[in-house]
Structure 1
Amino acid sequence: MNTGPNPLVRVPGEGAGEMSYVYAVGRQGPALDGLATRLPGVDGRPLRPVDGGGLCALVSPVPADTFGEQGLTAQMEDLDRLEAVARAHHAVVDAAFAETSVLPMRLATVYLDDARVADMLVRQRSEFQELLGRLEGHVELGVKVYADPRTAAVPAQPAAPPAGAGAGRAYLRRRQAQQRDSQDVYRAASDVAARAARLAETVAASRAVHRPQQGQLASRPGVNVANEACLVPREHLERLRRELSILADDVPGVSIEVTGPWAPYSFATAVVAEGAGADGGGPR
């Protein structure tokens, strides 16, 4: 799953007490109503449905002191806390997506109260309905390509001659050979990424190119040279996953990771329109 950090979103003008945290938007009906009765939200707070304009938002109450401007800033700086909020957020979105088509809201989208959530649904009804129609029957697949020259088969190098002028030349030859091997692996990885993109385009309704992951975000050894998401019709899901997963077979030093299916985070994250909230704010 493409779970890269979404920007925290707030609606200014928050007061004391509780605010309404919005997870996802879908069509009004029993699917989301039923889910709200059996699934907790952030910090275990109960979910509730908020309806407006024929749509339904999944909402939970959160404390205004921790989800207001200063509170959100503090939570962004606490990686453990941010991870806990993100996990709860995505758990709700994924459970809702298993029931029906939904639009994930950005992480920590909060409103002053449910009335303002309902107003947002009414004002953005056309946009939300259009997105829901486009995503109906589709899922997201993640595709990452990695290059790791260390795992490529490298021909054994002859032993270095005794110390002297010849030893330096032999060392340079080995280094040049290693560099050529690394360049070959990265070229091969780029070729696999290009073939994956062409294959996805044969069935995917849309593709999204993300920034390659680095450090702890990368899930495999080596360098992540491509990180994409595909919006795929459900009927083509298994075939595409199978064909993508074998593209790097027999390519030394190159691997491909196919994840999902996920809710369509890369294609459906709903945008809070300007004017949301009590003060006419709500910028992302």
Structure 2
Amino acid sequence: MTAKTQAESSREGRSHYLYGVVREDGGWTPELAGLGDAPVRMVREGGLTALVSDVAGPRVVPTRTHLLMHQRVTEAVVREHTLVPVAFGTVLPSEERVRELLRVARAPLTRALSELEGRVELGLKVYCNGDALTRQLEQQQPGLARGASEPEEDHEARLEAALRDCTLKDLDGLKAGLRPLAEATHEAPPLGERMMLNTAWLVDRTRVAAFEARVTSLVARLDAYTFRFTGPWPAYSFVDVRLDVEAADSATP
């Protein structure tokens, strides 16, 4: 039996917090601090590498600090490496269980890494200033003004229909202008009354600057909207891999 290193001995009894999975790369070692300032390290198995750090127990409380640390680690990795991110709070009880998880999910993880190779996620949310858009439409279309004998309800209905048509046209034009620079897009339901568009875009890392420039160019023409452009992020919106932690736990005695 080989002697345990001091680091291995100190990890006995501690759980392993999982940030994500990358391809095995013998030339790269992460120099990152994870939850609780524990160093992020690698667990390798079958051509895959899990990025983990030690935590004290089987669960991690979703505090703002913990969430930010998880986010910072994954963001730092995705700047230069293809990453299959995992959900916050994924904890396994031992290094062997981490390896077993990689063995159990090897096929879908390998497929996901191929699909995400060299790509990152960018977020774009669009909010509408209804009053500004109404004023803009009334200037462009004098016929939208309320007639002298027109009931208020009818006028409001006409305005709402015109606003819907205008918003749909504007957003369709925005998406059409961005699609040529993206590999894929994911549209989630808007949040709140003012949000009109809630999208994620899968973009090759080499085209991020061009995509951002295109966003800037397109939104400059849409004065009645507010935009929130974020990223690059790990491609959470484009990962369809379910890591069965319980299966990994039961597969290894």
TM (normalized to structure 2)? 0.77
Q: Is the 8 A contact 1:146 1:254 kept in 2?
A: yes
**Structure-2 change in CA distance of 1:252 and 1:181 (3 Å):** farther
Amino acid of the structure 2 residue aligned with 1:224: M
2:57 aligned residue? 64
CA contact (8 A) 1:106 1:270 kept: no
- Pick the aligned partner of 2:33 from 40, 44, 51: 40
Native 8 Å contact 1:188 1:251 kept in 2? no
Corresponding residue of 1:265: 236
> What does residue 3 of structure 2 align with?
none
- The residue identity in structure 1 corresponding to 2:20 is A
Aligned to 1:12: none
Tell me by how many angstroms 1:32 deviates.
4.7
Q: Shift in Å at residue 109 of structure 1?
A: 0.7
The 1-side partners of 2:230 and 2:40 are apart by 28
Corresponding residue SS for 2:16: strand
Q: Which of 118, 129, 143 is residue 148 of structure 1 equivalent to?
A: 129
- Work out whether residues 19 and 64 of structure 1, in 8 Å CA contact, stay in contact via their aligned partners in 2: yes
Q: SS of 2:90's equivalent?
A: strand
2:128/2:226 contact within 8 Å kept: yes
**Residue type matched to 1:85 in 2?**
H
Give the alignment of 1:111-150 within 5 angstroms. Answer: 111-150=92-131
CA deviation string 1:183-234 (max 9, x = no partner): 54443332222223323332322111123233xxxxxxx7111111111123
Determine if contact 2:19/2:70 at 8 Å carries over to the other structure. Answer: yes
Q: Find the residue that maps to 1:230 and give its secondary structure.
A: strand
CA distance in 2, matches of 1:32, 1:104: 18
Letter in 2 for 1:44: D
**Any idea what SS the aligned residue of 1:108 has?**
coil
- Partner SS, residue 181 of structure 2: coil
8 Å CA contact 1:189, 1:254 repeated in 2: no
Aligned twin of 1:229: 200
Q: 2:76 aligns to what?
A: 95
Higher mean alpha-carbon deviation, 235-244 vs 118-127, is at: 235-244
CA contact 2:22–2:82 (8 Å) conserved in 1: yes
| Matching residue of 2:19 | 23
Tell me if the contact between 1:149 and 1:182 (Cα under 8 Å) persists in the aligned partners: no
Partner of 1:100, secondary structure, is coil
CA offsets per residue over residues 110-152 of structure 1, 9 Å max, x none?
1111110011112222221221122112222212121111334
Question: Per the alignment, in what secondary structure is the counterpart of residue 249 of structure 2?
Answer: coil
What is the CA–CA distance in structure 2 between the aligned matches of 1:96 and 1:30, rounded to whole Å? 15
Matches within 5 A, 1:179-258: 184-214=162-192, 223-258=194-229
Q: Tell me, yes or no, if the aligned pair for 1:104 and 1:270 is still in contact at 8 Å.
A: no
Counterpart amino acid of residue 189 in structure 1: T
> Conserved in 2, the CA contact under 8 Å of 1:188 and 1:254?
no
**Could you tell which deviates more after superposition, 243-252 or 132-141?**
243-252
| SS of residue in 2 equivalent to 1:226 | strand
Q: What is the aligned partner in structure 2 of residue 4 from structure 1? A: none
Structure 1 residues 254 and 187: CA distance shift in structure 2, 3 A:
farther
Structure 1 residue runs of 5 or longer lacking an equivalent are 1-15, 157-168, 215-221
- Please report the RMSD computed on the Cα atoms of aligned residues, expressed in angstroms: 3.1
1:39 CA drift (Å): 1.3
| Kept in 1: contact 2:81–2:118 (CA 8 A) | no
Q: Give the conservation status (yes or no) of the 8 Å contact 2:183–2:203.
A: yes
How far the C-alpha of 1:277 sits from its partner, in A, is 3.4
The more displaced of 192-201 and 111-120 is 192-201
**1:17-64 per-position Cα deviation (integer Å, ceiling 9, x unaligned):** 42111001101124552x1xx311112122221111111111111122
2:16/2:91 contact within 8 Å kept: yes
Give the whole-Å Cα distance in 2 for the aligned partners of 1:88 and 1:267: 22
